[in-house]
Amino acid sequence: MTLKNNNKSLTQNKKQLKEEELFLAAYDLFLKNGIEKTSIDDITKNAKVAKGTFYLYFSDKYDILNKLILQKSNEIIREGLAKTNAFGSKDFKERTLFFIDYIINYLKDNVSLLKLINKNISWGLYRKAIMKPEAYNDVKKVLDIFVKNLTKSGMNEEEAEMTLFMIFELVGSICFTTIILKEPTDIESIKPILFKKILAMISV
């Protein structure tokens, strides 16, 4: 490696480190104080970087929030995919319910994260995964498997994508409402009905 390439690599590593420090600082403050009570000044002070550095990576605090939601959602889906693969079943419906159950239980055990994500582990995640597959490869993998299985069952691709959209929206909204608000009941009580509806949606 030449000196020029080595310097370029060091610069990239420093940039990645600063971006990661800002992500960690924002995540900590959003969970602790809430989004509205967290300012860019708070984030940069917590990350120990200059305020100008923030704007090299993000346009405002909602930009870093959206990227955090996508990052955290991607991590959850990556773990869920690994657990589903270890589950062993080859049956698409069983694997789908196992995967969704893992996501629900993860959010149930991480209420602060659920409050941050709110209902946004949904269509926005899907669209961004399609637009930037290199950054969210695990999300894209799940989506591709799902659409492929539904099209093999007889759906056309558009219907398969819309079914996926509805399942994302349904699971995200129900998790938030039942786990955070406890309405109209708790998540464990509604889960059998949710799974029944999801099975109906993916049965062709």
Band the pLDDT of 17: cuts 50, 70, 90: confident
CATH number at residue 112: 1.10.357
Asked which of 2-6, 64-68, 95-99, 107-111 is least confident by mean pLDDT, the reply is: 2-6
Specify whether 35 is located in the same domain as 48.
yes
Band the pLDDT of 159: cuts 50, 70, 90: very high
Q: Which residues contact 83 (CB under 8 A, 6 or more apart)?
A: 98, 99, 102
Specify whether 46 is located in the same domain as 74.
no
Specify whether 145 is located in the same domain as 99.
yes
Specify whether 122 is located in the same domain as 194.
yes
Q: Which residues contact 23 (CB under 8 A, 6 or more apart)?
A: 64, 67, 68, 71
**Count of CB atoms situated within 10 Å of the CB of 203:** 9
Asked which of 27, 43, 58 is the last residue of a domain, the reply is 58
Asked if residue 115 lies in contact with residue 180, where contact means CB atoms within 8 angstroms, the answer is yes
158 alpha carbon, distance to own chain's centre: 22
CATH number at residue 45: 1.10.10.60
Band the pLDDT of 117: cuts 50, 70, 90: confident
Specify whether 70 is located in the same domain as 36.
no
Specify whether 12 is located in the same domain as 80.
no
Q: How many folded domains does the chain comprise?
A: 2
Specify whether 162 is located in the same domain as 114.
yes
Specify whether 109 is located in the same domain as 134.
yes
pLDDT at 188 over 80: yes
Specify whether 39 is located in the same domain as 95.
no
Identify the DSSP state of 37: T
Asked which of 9, 31, 58 is the last residue of a domain, the reply is 58
**Count of CB atoms situated within 10 Å of the CB of 174:** 18
Question: DSSP string spanning 40-103?
Answer: HHHHHHHHT--HHHHHHH-SSHHHHHHHHHHHHHHHHHHHHHHHHHHH----HHHHHHHHHHHH
Specify whether 19 is located in the same domain as 50.
yes
Round to whole Å and give the CA distance between 134 and 125: 14
Specify whether 115 is located in the same domain as 45.
no
Specify whether 30 is located in the same domain as 123.
no
- Domain around 96: 63-202
pLDDT at 31 over 70: yes
Q: Which residues contact 36 (CB under 8 A, 6 or more apart)?
A: none
Asked which of 13, 42, 58 is the last residue of a domain, the reply is 58
Q: pLDDT tens digits for 165-175?
A: 889 889 988 99
